[in-house]
Structure 1
Amino acid sequence: MSKRDVIVIGSGLSGLVTAAELVRAGKRVLIVDQEPAATFGGQAFWSLGGLFIVDTPEQRALGIHDSLELARNDWMSTARFDRAEDEYGEQWANSYVKFAAVEMRDWLADYGIELAPIIGWPEARREGIDMGNSVPRCHIVWGMGPGLLEPFQRKVIEGQEAGLVDLRFRHRVDELLRDESGAVVGVAGSILSDDDAPRGARTSREVIGTFSEHAPVVVIAAGGVGGNLEMVRRRWPTDRVGPAPATLLRGVPEHVDGRMVEIAEGAGAHLINLDRMWTYAEGLRHHTPQWDSQGVRILPGPSAVWLDGRGDRLPESIKPGSDALGGLIATRANGQDTSWFVVSRIIAETELTLAGQDQNPHLRAKTAAVPERVGIPAAIQAFMDHGEDFVVADNLDDLVTSMAELSADVEPDRVRNAILEHDREVEAGITAITGREGGGDAQGSFIRVAAAHAFLDPSAGPLIAIRLRTITRKSLGGLETDLRGRVLTVGGSEIDGLYAVGEAAGFGGGGVHGYSALEGTFLGGCLFTGRQTAAALIETLAENYT
């Protein structure tokens, strides 16, 4: 390929969407990625495949009444934009919600992407709390993360076969090349040695050569910072959630290191809002890690009792899966690094699940029927058998003793009181669905919930306690971009030739989510920023050629 129209840095979902749309328009694209070919598709491969889509036939079939205006209100009240640099993030948010309500489903179908008849309700809005989703709108793609990636991967490979795409792995960008006017005109960097490590594993950084490539446009699609724990700690929002935990788990591989956004910042780009990050309090250390300190988020359903590190129950307003930021703040309030779920065997059999496509094989296999749950799911049982965070006991005294052995912060009497309080509430008719304050839980009719029961009922045992730690996931900030994806300077001017998409752009504008995100908007943000930026580039390139 003698001449390129666009260089894309990164072969994750946002980079693939950008490239696929450009290939559809006959443009010539060079894709460079520091990782081996095994990582083709990036982090989206691991995902559940959830997409925030508005007012769909799938929703209407389930009796869910959604609208553009309702979705926009949910987004804005959750984001709570309040900074001067939120101008473009808010614009991107309005544009995304409109796309999700009007064009997204048909555009996905045009790529052959189908939606499963399953709609989740994470970040559900609760009575008296002005944030979250008013209705379920997190649609699951058939095939989950791999199923979402495959059409874009296929289009890029087709482009490669047609001579439109040059795909180079183990090419790490170290510098943005600029001409005398300051415009970005290419990239330079290091060629890394071949590495046959599996997806997600740490790879060699041995340099075996250098490269430089030129094009009128460079698109940064290199992801966020969640795998770089030093950078996460450096940007940690201490003023809002307290000090960073001593122990952090990585929800993404180590190569998601923020390196490229800092290189862009060094070239004059405005890097904003990295103190806004999406971390979960409900992390388990993986029993068979593919990268260092790998964590997995556990999803307990509504019936678990959530305790802080000492053993006190969290406030009624904090429910797993309903408010990730609120859960993080609540669990960090007393300075402990851990919190706990306590469940019975019945709840473990009925409600417990793990996030990610590798933990939900029926959806990856595009099987409509959810397998009947008989006993504790195999993925949960594997963590119980081989992980370090589960405690199982036949009685409350043994449970609290084992919890205290696992964490010095646990105060046994506080745990006992919390479990006894739970059982008294069940006897009084107060359940996970009715709530301690009587307001109810809107999620109850859309998820599998165990019948209310006392934890200390011998027929419900054994008791299970699950130690939780903070797990990194997504960056809600990034490079500031306008609605065409152009990267801006601190002063607000465009850097000619430089664009950003996906998490590197804070999913649009340097922070489309504000302080808190609605689930399904991360993959959705990769799709939308890639599509929107590619459309702008196609128009710009046509004008330049004219």
Structure 2
Amino acid sequence: SVPRYHVIWGTGHRLVELFLEKLAKHSNRDSLQFFYRHRVVQLVSENGRVVGCRSESEETKKVVEFEAEHTIAACGGINGSIDKVREHWYKPWGLPPKEILNGSHPYADGALHELVSNLGGSVTHLDKMWNYAAGIPHPQPQFEGHGLSLIPCKSALWLDAKGNRIGPDPLVTGFDTNELCRRVAQLEEPYTWQVLNWGIAAKEFAISGSEHNPSIRDRKLLSFLKEILLGNHTLIEKISTESDHFIVAQNMDELLTQMKALDDEKVLSCDNVKAAVSDYDQMLSRGPALWNDDQVRRIQQARAWRSDKVRTCKPAPIVSDKSGPLI
């Protein structure tokens, strides 16, 4: 287990470009053909071995057959099918959550896995899928259940549906993503809250994908460094305007009013939220010598690594005139 980032400079678009550049220089490039927007519908077998596949064009529905001495089924994941996610949910975690958003794509539907299985191929470990514990509905959904995968702020307080701080060990992103999923999935309600302030969000908040990371996608180094050093205020303004799941308020009472309005299950306790934030802030106000909180210890550990230090706030109270509105 080592600290690492896996955001490609240029995002997935650049990854495709790099492969195309290398393929263009390949010694057999004159024999290379691309078949875009084709879905594999059959693996062709003869005498007990796979000898190719058939695909169908999404646009023309024309079927194309490919022959090969060796066939590799590069299936991708199953996370684009919520039904598949539920079917193969990791059993030690109990039942899957009642509500799951799709932060992948419907193309990752597990259909190719089934084709392999139907031919007697060995498909294993589907329960070792990679899910995330924090997401919101996409403000402009492109398909049913479309979600945004959030990278939660380490300095935010993670609360359950009733407004209690989740514990006894606090939930802190960046240490064990699977453990975050396990604990959130086992909560009584299928959603959680994160309470923070604008200063924390500007420095720590991020959303996965090229859509919300234009500086990285377009490889604009100066813009990227500006966001790192001064905070990504543009992203916060954008998502707070577009999403009703992202609440911005000038004080705690205003924040709680908006949280209650979003609480369809009517289980949120304002007193619980106030107590969780107050206890955390009071602990921080006592000074570093008395910071007896595992979340603060993990924040300090993250800041000990140079790459995380620039993306993680120093421990400070949530409610603060210096840190801007509450979120």
Query: 1:251-303: CA deviations, max 9, x gaps?
Result: 11111111001110010011111122211111122222344322222224321
1:422 matches 2:289:
no
The more displaced of 154-163 and 396-405 is 154-163
* Partner of residue 339, structure 1: 192
Select 1:302's aligned residue among 154, 160, 176. 154
Inter-partner Cα distance in structure 1 for 2:323 and 2:57: 58
Select 2:269's aligned residue among 386, 397, 411. 411
* Partner of residue 129, structure 2: 277
Structure 2 counterpart SS, 1:296: strand
Aligned in 2, Cα 1:399/1:172: closer, same or farther, shift over 3 Å? same
* TM-score normalised to structure 2 length: 0.85
Aligned in 2, Cα 1:147/1:338: closer, same or farther, shift over 3 Å? same
**Which structure 2 residue ranges, 5 or more long, are not aligned?**
none
Counterpart of 2:154 in structure 1: which amino acid?
Answer: P
1:137 matches 2:12:
no
Counterpart of 1:429 in structure 2: which amino acid?
Answer: G
* Partner of residue 252, structure 1: 104
The structure whose residues are more often strand, as a share, is 1
- The CA deviation at 1:150 is 1.7
Select 1:456's aligned residue among 310, 319, 323. 319
Select 2:138's aligned residue among 271, 279, 286. 286
2:78 and 2:108 in contact (8 A); partners too: yes
* Partner of residue 255, structure 2: 399
- The CA deviation at 1:193 is 2.0
- The CA deviation at 1:184 is 0.9
- The CA deviation at 1:220 is 0.9
Counterpart of 2:35 in structure 1: which amino acid?
Answer: R
Structure 1 counterpart SS, 2:76: coil
Aligned in 2, Cα 1:168/1:147: closer, same or farther, shift over 3 Å? closer
**Residues 124-203 of structure 1 correspond to what in structure 2 (within 5 A)?**
133=2, 136-138=3-5, 140-157=7-24, 162-180=29-47, 182-194=48-60
Structure 1 counterpart SS, 2:72: strand
Counterpart of 1:364 in structure 2: which amino acid?
Answer: R
Counterpart of 2:53 in structure 1: which amino acid?
Answer: V
- The CA deviation at 1:416 is 1.5
1:214 matches 2:71:
no
Inter-partner Cα distance in structure 2 for 1:435 and 1:149: 47
Select 1:442's aligned residue among 301, 306, 323. 301
CA RMSD between the two structures? 2.6
Select 2:164's aligned residue among 309, 312, 316. 312
- The CA deviation at 1:172 is 2.4
**Residues 14-33 of structure 1 correspond to what in structure 2 (within 5 A)?**
none
Counterpart of 1:289 in structure 2: which amino acid?
Answer: P
Select 1:262's aligned residue among 109, 114, 117. 114
1:143 and 1:365 in contact (8 A); partners too: yes
Inter-partner Cα distance in structure 2 for 1:418 and 1:360: 32
- The CA deviation at 1:456 is 2.8
Aligned in 2, Cα 1:158/1:436: closer, same or farther, shift over 3 Å? same
Select 1:359's aligned residue among 199, 212, 215. 212
Aligned in 2, Cα 1:405/1:361: closer, same or farther, shift over 3 Å? same
1:378 matches 2:234:
yes
- The CA deviation at 1:148 is 2.7
2:158 and 2:170 in contact (8 A); partners too: no
Inter-partner Cα distance in structure 2 for 1:145 and 1:209: 28
Counterpart of 2:18 in structure 1: which amino acid?
Answer: P
